[in-house]
Structure 1
Amino acid sequence: AAVTGTVDVEPLLLFAIIFFWTPPHFWALALFRSDDYARAGIPMLPNVAGPDATRLQILLYTIVLIAVAAAPWALGYFDAVYGIVSLILGAGMLALAINVYVRRERSQSLRATRKLFAFSILYLFALFATLLAEVVFRALAPMVGGA
């Protein structure tokens, strides 16, 4: 958007991916660090709305994230490689979010939230690395094909 001077769908989709990725990522952290946030007086969602409401929000945002992350492929901006990677990563993210939603016992809950938090970092990195790889491949393909 800064380069072209216009706001197109592509940068909005990238923004939306990060926007919907952020809550599950940070709320997973907030769930397993809720005691620390409470002691510090920081009003994170688990301390304000409770852990069950936080688990539900993580699950709902993850569902929306999967759809938004697949949108660049569904709308034809990226190829099947991105689409497949997006869906595989989304399935992993959803499985972990469901696990966070289901696991309510303290030790299982902490383990589930840590796994989701860690995977969410990998998720965003892999998703954007795949986007970058497709853009680089598109730029290099005419040079390689023409040689």
Structure 2
Amino acid sequence: TNFYASALLLFSIFFYVVIYTVWLKRITSQNIVIGGAAGAFPPIIGWLSIHPTLTFEPIVLFLIIFFWTPYHFWALAYYRHDDYERVSVPMYPNVHGLEKTRIQILIYAILTIISSLLPTLCGYAGWTYLALTIVISFILLYFVIQFLRCKDHASARTLFKFSLLHLFAIFSCLLVDRFLETSL
């Protein structure tokens, strides 16, 4: 088990440092989507460090992080697109325009919401998690809709700031759910 966890950890570090940072970051506007995989590997690495086989549970957590990453970073890139342009990093807003970026942010926010429902749908989390996640998802949708309506840097910044809390909240809900399920 530790061999697989170590191998995946080394691969994810290599992927992040070489594939994403050195190579893709400066040549494709999909850098965040592709590079997001490296940032989403920790749940799988953690799982493999204590379990001999990979199951769907850590893959669900991988998917939540993977789908969260683009909307999170593109909200930042939206209101900082001049900075990325200045340093020649081809972020999605700079290459495809702000309108297409807004659409992609909406798509990935929806994918994040759907993937965050998977722990309950797959039987890994209970009703507490589902209820809290639905509330958090509506808050996310509110900020995404505000961003789509306002189309300004301030709403992109607000969405970005919420995205920082969003991922933390989803994973915290898993902990709360597990605690309540085992305590009752």
Partner of residue 155 from structure 2, selected from 102, 105, 112: 112
- CA–CA separation in structure 2 for the residues paired with 1:51 and 1:8: 39
Q: Deviations over 1:63-113 (max 9, x none)?
A: 111111011112221111100111111111112112222223xxxx11110
Pick aligned residue for 1:78 from 122, 125, 129: 125
Post-superposition offset of 1:136: 3.7
AA matched with 1:99: Q
For residues 118-137 of structure 1, what are the structure 2 equivalents within 5 Å? Answer: 118-137=161-180
Paired letter, 1:30: A
Provide the C-alpha distance between the structure 1 equivalents of 2:108 and 2:74, rounded to a whole number of angstroms.
11
Match of 1:47? 94
Matches within 5 A, 1:46-65: 46-65=93-112
- Structure 1 runs (4+) greater than 2 angstroms displaced: 133-139
Aligned to 2:113: 66
Two-structure CA RMSD over aligned residues (Å)? 1.4
Match of 2:139 among 92, 106, 109: 92
Q: Which has the larger displacement, 33-42 or 2-11?
A: 2-11
Equivalenced residue count is 137
Which structure 2 residue ranges, 5 or more long, are not aligned? 1-46
Which fold has the larger relative contact order, with Cα–Cα distance below 8 Å and residues 6 or more apart in sequence?
1
Check the 8 A contact 2:73/2:160 in 1, yes or no: yes
Cα deviation code 1:35-84 (max 9, x no counterpart): 01101111100001111111000001111111110111122211111001
Give TM-score scaled by structure 1 length: 0.87
